[in-house]
Amino acid sequence: MRKFIIASMAAAAFSLTACSEKAQDETAEAGAAVADDAAAVGDAAAAGAAEAADATADAAKDAGAAVEGAAKDAGNAVEGTVNAAGDAAANAGDKIAEETKKAEANDKK
């Protein structure tokens, strides 16, 4: 009877070991699947971050070009205003010179 009990215990231990190896294999496979999923998520996040960085750089470039264009337009407007003011002052000077000549001519009469 003692040999039967020892044989039964050995068989039970062997089946537990086999079950344990199967569980270990399945756990390893599940861990590998989780690692693959995590890597895929990381790759997707990196790609998304790169796209966002590119979009931000493009937007900054466009904004810079818009500011440059607006500054150029403002400069042209200021230059036009200064030129118009200069022309008006020159015309006023010419008009003063004419009136001064007329006044001097009237004084001589």
Average pLDDT of span 85-106 = 88
pTM of the prediction?
Answer: 0.46
In the chain, which residue ranges form alpha helices assigned H by DSSP? 2-108
HSE-CB for 47 with a 13 A CA cutoff: 6
Q: Which two tokens stand for residue 102?
A: 């007329």
* pLDDT (tens digit per residue) in 5-56: 554 555 555 554 555 666 666 777 877 877 788 888 888 999 999 999 999 9
R_g of the chain computed on alpha carbons: 47
Q: Is the pLDDT of residue 104 over 60?
A: yes
